Chain A
Amino acid sequence: MQFMLLFSRQGKLRLQKWYVPLSDKEKKKITRELVQMVLARKPKMCSFLEWRDLKIVYKRYASLYFCCAIEDQDNELITLEIIHRYVELLDKYFGSVCELDIIFNFEKAYFILDEFLLGGEAQETSKKNVLKAIEQADLLQENLDFQIRLFPGVLNPSMSAESSGLFQS
Chain B
Amino acid sequence: MPAVSKGDGMRGLAVFISDIRNCKSKEAEIKRINKELANIRSKFKGDKALDGYSKKKYVCKLLFIFLLGHDIDFGHMEAVNLLSSNKYTEKQIGYLFISVLVNSNSDLIRLINNAIKNDLSSRNPTFMNLALHCIANVGSREMAEAFAAEVPRILVAGDTMDSVKQSAALCLLRLYRTSPDLVPMGEWTARVVHLLNDQHLGVVTAATSLIITLAQKNPDDFKTSVSLAVARLSRIVTSASTDLQDYTYYFVAAPWLSVKLLRLLQCYPPPEDAAIRGRLTECLETILNKAQEPPKSKKVQHSNAKNAVLFEAISLIIHHDSEPTLLVRACNQLGQFLQHRETNLRYLALESMCTLASSEFSHEAVKTHIETVINALKTERDVSVRQRAVDLLYAMCDRSNAKQIVAEMLSYLETADYSIREEIVLKVAILAEKYAVDYTWYVDTILNLIRIAGDYVSEEVWYRVIQIVINRDDVQGYAAKTVFEALQAPACHENLVKVGGYILGEFGNLIAGDPRSSPLIQFDLLHSKFHLCSVPTRALLLSAYIKFINLFPEVKGTIQEVLRSDSQLRNADVELQQRAVEYLRLSCIASTDILATVLEEMPPFPERESSILAKLKRKKGSGTVSDIEENRKERNTNVNGGVNHSSANTNAKVTSSSSTDLLGLGSNTAINSTPPPGPSTAASLLVDVFSETSPTGPLGAPSAPVSDDNFSRFVCKNNGVLYENQLLQIGLKSEFRQNLGRMYVFYGNKTSTQFLNFSASVVCQDALRAQLNVHAKPADPTIDGGAQLQQILNIECVSDFVEAPVLNIQFRYGGTLQNIAVKLPVTLNKFFQPTEMTSQDFFQRWKQLSAPQQEVQKIFKAKHSMDTEVTKAKIIGFGVALLDGVDPNPSNFVGAGVIHTKTTQVGCLLRLEPNTQAQMYRLTLRTSRDSVSQRLCDLLSDQF
B21 within 8 A of A: yes
Q: Answer whether residue B629 sits at the interface, using C-beta atoms and an 8 A cutoff.
A: no
Residues B92 and A111 in contact, CB atoms below 8 Å apart:
yes
Of A45, A78, A104, A139, which is within 8 A of B305 by CB? A78
Interface set, chain B 17-73, CB cutoff 8 A to A: 17-18, 21, 53, 60, 63-64, 67, 69
The contact of B96 among A49, A78, A110, by CB within 8 Å, is A110
The verdict on B707 contacting chain A, using a C-beta distance below 8 Å, is no
Q: Mask for A86-98, Cβ within 8 A of B = 1, else 0? A: 0000001111000
User: Does B88 contact A121, Cβ atoms closer than 8 Å?
Assistant: no
Residues of B within 8 A of A142 (CB): 87, 89
**Residues from chain B with Cβ under 8 Å of A150 in the complex:** 9, 14
Q: Closest chain B residue to A119 by CB distance?
A: B174
CB of B7 closer than 8 Å to a CB of A: yes
Interface string of B167-196 (1 = CB under 8 A from A): 100110110011000000000000000000
- Contacts known (A45-B381, A119-B171); A85 close to B249, Cβ less than 8 A: yes
Point out the residues of chain B lying under 8 angstroms from A105, CB to CB: 4, 7
Interface of chain B residues 285 through 325 with chain A (CB within 8 A): 301, 304-305, 307-308, 311-312, 315
Per-residue interface assignment for chain B, residues 591 to 627, with 1 indicating a CB less than 8 Å from any chain A CB and 0 otherwise: 0000000000000000000000000000001110000
Cβ-defined contact, A78 with B308, below 8 A: yes
Could you mark each residue 110-144 of chain B with 1 if its beta carbon is under 8 Å from any beta carbon of chain A, else 0? 00000000000000001001001100110110000
Q: A105-B7, A146-B9, A154-B18 are in contact. Are A119 and B170 (CB under 8 A)?
A: yes
Given contacts A48-B384, A84-B301, A110-B96, contact A118 B249 (CB under 8 A): no
Q: Is the CB of B133 within 8 A of A146?
A: no
Interface pair B140/A21, CB less than 8 Å apart: yes
A150 to B18 Cα, complex, angstroms: 10
Contact status B256-A78, CB under 8 Å: yes
B536 within 8 A of A: no
Query: Which residues of B lie under 8 Å from residue A48 when comparing CB positions?
Result: 344, 347-348, 384
Complex: chain A residue closest to B129, CB-CB: A133
CA distance A123 to B206 in the complex (A): 5
B927 at interface, CB cutoff 8 A: no
| B382 interfacial by beta-carbon distance below 8 Å | yes
With contacts A95-B3, A125-B202, A149-B5 taken as known, whether A53 is within 8 angstroms of B623 at the C-beta atoms is yes
Query: Cβ of A151 and Cβ of B14 under 8 Å apart?
Result: yes
Which residues B512-527 have CB closer than 8 A to chain A?
A: none
Indicate if A136 sits at the interface (CB-CB under 8 A): yes
Q: Given the complex, which residues of A lie within 8 Å of B163, measured CB to CB?
A: 124, 129, 133
Which of A46, A153, A154 touches B346 (beta carbons < 8 Å)?
A: A46
Inter-chain contact B311/A122, CB cutoff 8 Å: no
Within the complex, the shortest CB–CB distance from B649 to chain A, in Å, comes to 24
> Which residue of chain A has the shortest Cβ distance to B387 in the bound complex?
A50
In the complex, whether B539 has a CB less than 8 A from a CB of chain A is no
Q: Is the CB of A139 within 8 A of B6?
A: yes
Which of A42, A53, A77, A123 is within 8 Å of B348, CB to CB? A77
Closest CB in chain B relative to A4 CB, distance in Å: 12
Of A94, A123, A144, the residue contacting B167 (CB under 8 A) is A123
- In the assembly, what is the distance between CA of A76 and CA of B347, in Å? 10
Q: Which residue of B lies closest to A44 (CB)?
A: B343
Q: Would you call B3 and A94 a contact (CB within 8 A)? A: yes
A75–B254 CA distance with the chains assembled, in angstroms: 15
Residues of B with C-beta under 8 A to A118: 132-133, 136, 166-167, 170-171, 174, 206
Once the chains bind, are A53 and B621 in contact (CB under 8 Å)?
A: yes
A21 near B311 (CB under 8 angstroms)?
Answer: no
* Contact with B64, one of A45, A101, A106, A123 (Cβ below 8 angstroms): A106
Contact A75 B8 (CB under 8 A): no
| Bound-complex Cα distance A139 to B738 (A) | 50
> A141 on the interface (CB 8 Å rule)?
yes
Report yes or no: B136 in contact with A119, Cβ–Cβ below 8 A. Answer: yes
Q: Identify which of B8, B348, B385 gathers the most chain A CB atoms within 10 Å of its CB.
A: B8
**Nearest chain B CB to A152 CB, angstrom units:** 11
Which of B9, B21, B129 has the most A CB atoms < 10 Å from its CB? B9
Q: Are B344 and A77 touching (Cβ within 8 A)? A: yes
Question: With A46-B343, A46-B346, A122-B205 known to touch, is A81 a contact of B301 (CB < 8 Å)?
Answer: yes
* Given A107-B96, A124-B163, residue A77 in contact with residue B308 (CB < 8 A): yes
Q: Is the CB of B6 within 8 A of A135?
A: yes
A10 within 8 A of B: no
Chain B residues whose CB sits within 8 angstroms of the CB of A80 once the complex forms = 304, 308, 344
Contacts of A92 in B (CB 8 A): 1, 3
- Interfacial chain A residues near B257, Cβ < 8 Å: 125
A127 close to B6 (CB less than 8 A): no
Q: Which residues of chain A (30-52) have a CB below 8 Å from chain B?
A: 42, 44-50
* Bound-state Cα–Cα, A140 to B1, Å: 19
Complex Cα spacing A77 to B307, Å: 7
Flag if A81 contacts B347 (CB, 8 Å).
no
List chain A residues, Cβ under 8 A from B256. Answer: 78, 81-82, 122, 125
* A26 CB–B CB distance under 8 Å: no
Shortest B630–chain A CB gap in Å is 15
Residues on the A chain within 8 Å of B205, using CB: 122-125
Q: Is the pair A146, B18 in contact by a Cβ cutoff of 8 Å? A: no
| A106-B67, A125-B247, A145-B8 known; A46-B92 Cβ under 8 A | no
Contacts of A139 in B (CB 8 A): 6
Contact of A81 among B201, B308, B623 (CB under 8 A): B308
Answer whether residue A148 sits at the interface, using C-beta atoms and an 8 A cutoff: yes
Chain A CB within 10 Å — which of B63, B87, B133 has the most? B133
Give A150 Cβ to nearest chain B Cβ, in Å. 6
Quick one: which of B312, B344, B381 has the most chain A CB within 10 A?
A: B344
User: What residues of A have a CB within 8 angstroms of the CB of B53 in the complex?
Assistant: 144-145
The verdict on A148 contacting B9 (CB below 8 Å), with A107-B60, A118-B171 known, is yes
Give a binary string over A50-75; 1 marks a CB under 8 Å from any B CB, 0 the rest: 10010000000000000000001101
Q: Is the CB of A149 within 8 A of B382?
A: no
Q: How far apart are the CA atoms of A46 and B18 in the complex, in Å?
A: 36
| Min C-beta distance of B621 to chain A, whole Å | 5
A133 to B1, CA, bound (A): 16
The listed residue (A72, A114, A129, A154) touching B137 by CB distance below 8 A is A114
Within 8 A of A (CB), among B234-272: 245-247, 249, 254-257, 259-260, 263, 266
**If the complex has contacts A45-B384, A77-B304, are A126 and B247 also in contact, measured as CB distance less than 8 A?**
yes
Known: A75-B308, A81-B308, A141-B89. A146 touches B8 (CB 8 A): yes
Which residues of B have CB within 8 Å of A93?
A: 1, 3-4
Residue of chain A at shortest CB distance from B246: A126
B689 interface contact, C-beta 8 A: no
Report Cα–Cα, A145/B276, bound state, in Å: 58
Q: Taking the nearest CB of chain A, how far is it from the CB of B432, in angstroms?
A: 25
**Measured between alpha carbons, how far is A49 from B136 in the docked complex, in Å?**
27
B11 contacts chain A at the CB level, 8 A cutoff: yes
Give the residue among A77, A104, A125 with the most B Cβ atoms within 10 A: A77
B93 near A: Cβ within 8 Å? yes
* List of A residues within 8 angstroms of B770 by Cβ: none
Q: How far in angstroms is the closest Cβ of chain A from B249?
A: 7
Residues of A near B568 (CB, < 8 A) are none
Q: Which residue of chain B has its CB nearest to the CB of A24? A: B71
In the complex, what residues of B have CB within 8 A of residue A135's CB?
3, 6
Decide: A81 near B170, CB < 8 A? Known: A105-B4, A125-B249. Answer: no
Highest count of chain A CB atoms <10 Å: which of B301, B304, B346, B348: B304
Q: List 26 A-B contacts (CB under 8 A).
A: A16-B67, A44-B381, A45-B382, A47-B344, A48-B348, A73-B263, A75-B308, A76-B311, A78-B259, A78-B305, A92-B1, A95-B4, A101-B4, A104-B17, A105-B7, A107-B92, A107-B96, A118-B171, A119-B170, A125-B202, A125-B257, A138-B7, A141-B89, A144-B8, A149-B4, A151-B11
A-B contacts besides A94-B4, A127-B246, 14 pairs, CB < 8 Å: A19-B174, A28-B69, A44-B382, A78-B305, A81-B256, A118-B166, A119-B139, A121-B173, A125-B254, A131-B3, A133-B129, A138-B3, A145-B9, A145-B11
Give the 5 A-B CB pairs with smallest separation, nearest first: A95-B1, A77-B308, A119-B174, A78-B308, A121-B209
